[in-house]
Structure 1
Amino acid sequence: MTGDPGAEFLALLPELILLIGAVGGLLLGLWTPQPKQWRVRALAVLACLGSAAAAAPVLPDPATAVFEGTWTVDTTTGIVRITVALTTAVAILLAAPSVAGHPRETEAYVLMLLGALGTVALAAASDLLLLMAAFLLASFPLYALAGFAKDARGAEATLKYYLMGAFSGVLMMIGIAALVLATGSTGYAALASGLPDASAPLVAIGVLGVLIGVAFKAGAVPVHFWVPDVTAGTTPAMAAFITTVPKLGAVAAAFRLLAEPFVAVPVNAPLLVAVLAAASMTLGNLAAFSQTEVLRLLAYSTVSQVGYLFMVVAVAARTDLAVPALAVYLAGYAVTNIGAFAAVAAAPTARTIADWTAAVGRRRWLVVSLVVCLLGLVGTPPTAVFVGKLAVFSAAWDGALVWLVVLAAVNTVASLFYYLRWIAPGALGASTAGGTPSLPDVGGSRTAAGTAQRTALRPAVILHSAALVSLLLGIGSGLWLAFALPA
């Protein structure tokens, strides 16, 4: 970039659209009657779609750094921009039934937009101070969203989330301070040149502290303890947003750190990330085996997915396969994870696997779409996550982390068993249930049954759409990788 302020602000157009949507939505909500708060929802969705549309044309452009190198626009940033914007739009639609009529409905949509903005900032940050600001912006809106239902479980989950976030944030600040002491700079370019000759103890403290903060946003081991409580303590829609969107930016931030400032540090940062990846996928899978509550099962599933995502982070600077592998996996994970949580939202009163099976009754297509999403999370062809895992495994193998690829393959097979604990009863229930569906087809819109039916309709549509997009994205990304990657 030339330093022209107009050109630099234009480079941030997707983020500006999200910011304008958040501020505009807040002002619109102040002057809109409660029964017509859907206008704010419409504005928020339009802002997300506008942000994605603004990010798409510059995706193939060469990497540029704006605002004195503190903000980088490249392929990684572009993928996160588009994926976060579209995922947030879907999450807003998914959350609409649970927040419609709430006294703070407007605030819910605004907080989701601000959380999305912070997530994109995580991915684009090329300066430690901006990274810290992005961490905070991607955290505080989510604390409020986690306890939006204002019940006992939500309050407990929010408190745990906040305390773990505060602890991780302090460690991240200590790490940033250590790196500044070691090099006298916060910019990634200056860190990359100064860290190799810096004090090894200071560098070790700095690298560990910064990675712990990023790992918290991703929900990785060992700062993952908030994930199951927050996921089970909030609504399925908010859980889908909290466990999907921030993870995209956090993984991209970790990828940029390993690819740029931490390339030649005196400590083995790739090995540290590889260990975090191995621990996340293994402990996440082991914890998921005993879960009977659907939200907690999905919570531990998201922890294990971080492990696969961190595999490509560990080889960010070692192979040319890393960037396309990260792009495909981020997009595939976002679509598939949102679909899995939409399946839970489609049966709003069901908490356990048995409850969900009884609730869906003979809605076979609901079960079919759930099977596509769950098998997609396993990595079954031809879903998007399968292509993403194949690309990530190839990148890790090319980056000389053969042991991690073997462990990931074992964990992938193991994860199938706890997904089958949900798939099998659902498929069996859909084929043997009686003639009365769980969500009665009643005409009275003012009855409780009528409300339940309307509430479940939107999540069901999102579930079916996610399953279809997962398949199409898997086929399309597979063809793209086949032609884009070097032989």
Structure 2
Amino acid sequence: MPVGDLLPELILLVGAVIIVLFAAFSSHDRQAWAAGLALVALALATGFSVMQWSRAPMLSFSGVWALDGPAIAAKWLMLFSGAVTVSLSPQWMRSDRRHGEYYALILFALLGMIMMASANDSMQLVVGVLLSSTASYPLVAYHRGWAPALEAGMKYFLIGALTNALLVIGVVVLFGLVGDTDYARTAEALVDADPFALTIATACIVLGLSFKLAAFPAHAWMPDVAQGAPAPVVALLSVAPKIGAAVALARFVLLLPVDQAWPAIVALIAAVTMTLGNLAALRQSDVRRLLGWSSVSQSGYALMAVVVIGAHPQALRALLAFLAAYALANLAAFAVITHLRGRTALDDYRGLARAQPIVTAVLIVALLSLVGIPPLVGFFGKFLLFEVTIAAGYGWLAVVAAINTLVSLFYYLRVIAVTMFKAPEGEVHVLGIWSWLAMLASVVVLLVASLGVEWGLGLMASLRFAL
């Protein structure tokens, strides 16, 4: 059980502790320095996780920690999401007198999300979900003097408390069935498990993870958080928990007997999630809420790959490709919103193309990738989802997803039309150089991923879970 297997995670933990101590003894004008410490921790964690890529897939720490391609790829995406979030934050938070610990909370949240993706034990999954949730609650309500932030924080907390309790109940029932929390031994024992109790356990665990995915029925927090939380926090919480939960759910459902009804149930959740998210987004006049509902719908697409994870050999590749495409596009979109000082009403974007042409270009690229327009990487992510879903016999789900994609095109183009064809109203204020650089970095990575999609898909083709 070498400690080196956990070096990236230990770096995040130590970095968060150092930031808490630094923030406690630093004056107001030095609080932003904590952002530099967080970026150093994220860079070191990324470097050590890159070194883990060449190793053969394995289970570490008595089989509870997975060091395999999917976990490492998810880790890279989450660390990049954290780096963009931290880079967007200093100028956004500069009016907050004591915001140094904000960066520690980001690192703690990321650590929990990474634990979710790497969990090969149901109790470790619970710890990861709880750590991620506990650190995320105060991040959402960080602007505690603003009513929408408090409302978003309360809704996020209450839904999280309920779904986390369901997750724990599911894990307890599962432990009662098999007498173990290790995934390998659980898979062996579930063959002869009581079907009713197994259904209860599976339903509770799926509902628990649906909270982190922002999927139906635990989705209601996402639009409120998108509107009320600090914009950099939304960039993180709309991306990183979704990645960790999707990989964790895909790893978990592979344990279940093939004759169970879970694929049909998850397929139904996927269809309802994408439809509900897109229909709700149609009527939004607030760009941040619109992107919040868009995030809900994108969870439905991700669940398509989870449905067929055991029925098609390329389902895992499709899931990771889609998550990467979604993460890069959504980060770029919220980087634009943050750079524009959180402009939220659709009318605030009138004529943006004339006032801020580069910012508008970044926003358009991000939105077109979210809808899946070629040659952007979002198209290839969705194409792979459709391919594996149809090949595995879920053609009806692919049809539902195709219709939802057409629906989503309307509200994404509505935002683009306002920026391009409406007359500008007043001066456009922006945050500053750091948010500008973070925005450019996010769109550059998005474009590079679009140009190198063939290489990236080839890299993902051989990824497998360590069993």
Would the aligned equivalents of 1:14 and 1:81 in 2 still touch at CA under 8 Å? no
Indicate the residue corresponding to 2:441 in structure 1: 465
Q: Which amino acid aligns with 2:270?
A: A
Residue 297 (structure 1) shift: 0.1
Q: SS in structure 2 opposite 1:139?
A: helix
Counterparts of 2:10 and 2:342, CA distance in 1: 38
Q: Which amino acid aligns with 1:68?
A: S
Would the aligned equivalents of 1:382 and 1:471 in 2 still touch at CA under 8 Å? no
Counterparts of 2:351 and 2:378, CA distance in 1: 29
Indicate the residue corresponding to 1:443 in structure 2: none
Residue 339 (structure 1) shift: 0.8
Q: Which amino acid aligns with 1:174?
A: I
Alignment of 1:476-487 (within 5 A): 476-481=452-457, 485=461
Residue 400 (structure 1) shift: 2.1
Q: SS in structure 2 opposite 1:157?
A: helix
Q: Which amino acid aligns with 1:364?
A: P
Indicate the residue corresponding to 1:396 in structure 2: 389
Would the aligned equivalents of 2:81 and 2:235 in 1 still touch at CA under 8 Å? no
Relative contact order higher in (CA < 8 Å, ≥ 6 apart): 2
Q: SS in structure 2 opposite 1:12?
A: helix
Residue 100 (structure 1) shift: 2.2
Q: SS in structure 2 opposite 1:56?
A: helix
Would the aligned equivalents of 2:350 and 2:424 in 1 still touch at CA under 8 Å? no
Match for residue 406 of structure 2 among 401, 408, 413? 413
Indicate the residue corresponding to 2:315 in structure 1: 322
Counterparts of 1:485 and 1:53, CA distance in 2: 23
Match for residue 249 of structure 1 among 229, 233, 244? 244
Residue 287 (structure 1) shift: 0.4
Deviations 1:152-180 (A, max 9, x none): 11111111111101110111111112111
Would the aligned equivalents of 1:196 and 1:266 in 2 still touch at CA under 8 Å? no
Q: SS in structure 1 opposite 2:444?
A: helix
Alignment of 1:52-131 (within 5 A): 52-131=46-125
Match for residue 264 of structure 2 among 271, 275, 286? 271
Residue 266 (structure 1) shift: 5.3
Q: Which amino acid aligns with 1:89?
A: A
Counterparts of 2:80 and 2:461, CA distance in 1: 26
1:438 aligns with 2:427: yes
Q: Which segments of 5 or more consecutive residues in structure 1 lack a partner in the other structure?
A: 440-451
Would the aligned equivalents of 2:214 and 2:296 in 1 still touch at CA under 8 Å? yes
CA RMSD of aligned residues (A): 1.8
Q: Which segments of 5 or more consecutive residues in structure 2 lack a partner in the other structure?
A: 463-467
Deviations 1:415-474 (A, max 9, x none): 100101100110124xx549xx723xxxxxxxxxxxx54x15433443333223212102
Would the aligned equivalents of 1:358 and 1:438 in 2 still touch at CA under 8 Å? no
Would the aligned equivalents of 2:352 and 2:424 in 1 still touch at CA under 8 Å? no
Deviates more, 1:205-214 or 1:332-341: 332-341
Would the aligned equivalents of 1:51 and 1:81 in 2 still touch at CA under 8 Å? no
Indicate the residue corresponding to 2:347 in structure 1: 354
Residue 302 (structure 1) shift: 0.2
Would the aligned equivalents of 1:143 and 1:161 in 2 still touch at CA under 8 Å? yes
Q: Which amino acid aligns with 2:324?
A: A
Counterparts of 2:76 and 2:401, CA distance in 1: 28
Counterparts of 1:265 and 1:481, CA distance in 2: 28
Deviations 1:106-128 (A, max 9, x none): 11100000000000000011111
Indicate the residue corresponding to 1:21 in structure 2: 15
What TM-score do the two structures reach when normalised by structure 1?
0.91
Indicate the residue corresponding to 2:130 in structure 1: 136
Q: SS in structure 2 opposite 1:222?
A: coil
Counterparts of 2:342 and 2:233, CA distance in 1: 15
Q: Which amino acid aligns with 1:198?
A: A
Would the aligned equivalents of 1:144 and 1:158 in 2 still touch at CA under 8 Å? yes
Q: Cα 1:279–1:195, aligned 2, differ >3 Å: closer, same or farther?
A: same
Q: Cα 1:395–1:61, aligned 2, differ >3 Å: closer, same or farther?
A: farther
Would the aligned equivalents of 1:312 and 1:392 in 2 still touch at CA under 8 Å? yes
Residue 254 (structure 1) shift: 0.6
Deviates more, 1:125-134 or 1:56-65: 56-65
Would the aligned equivalents of 2:449 and 2:456 in 1 still touch at CA under 8 Å? no
Indicate the residue corresponding to 1:303 in structure 2: 296
Indicate the residue corresponding to 2:465 in structure 1: none
* Identity level (%): 33
Indicate the residue corresponding to 2:172 in structure 1: 177
Deviates more, 1:200-209 or 1:323-332: 323-332
Deviations 1:58-83 (A, max 9, x none): 22422111111111110111011111
Residue 268 (structure 1) shift: 1.6
Would the aligned equivalents of 1:218 and 1:250 in 2 still touch at CA under 8 Å? yes
Q: Which amino acid aligns with 1:120?
A: I
Match for residue 426 of structure 1 among 386, 405, 419? 419
Would the aligned equivalents of 2:84 and 2:442 in 1 still touch at CA under 8 Å? no
Counterparts of 1:45 and 1:373, CA distance in 2: 24
Deviates more, 1:196-205 or 1:387-396: 387-396
Match for residue 451 of structure 2 among 475, 480, 483? 475
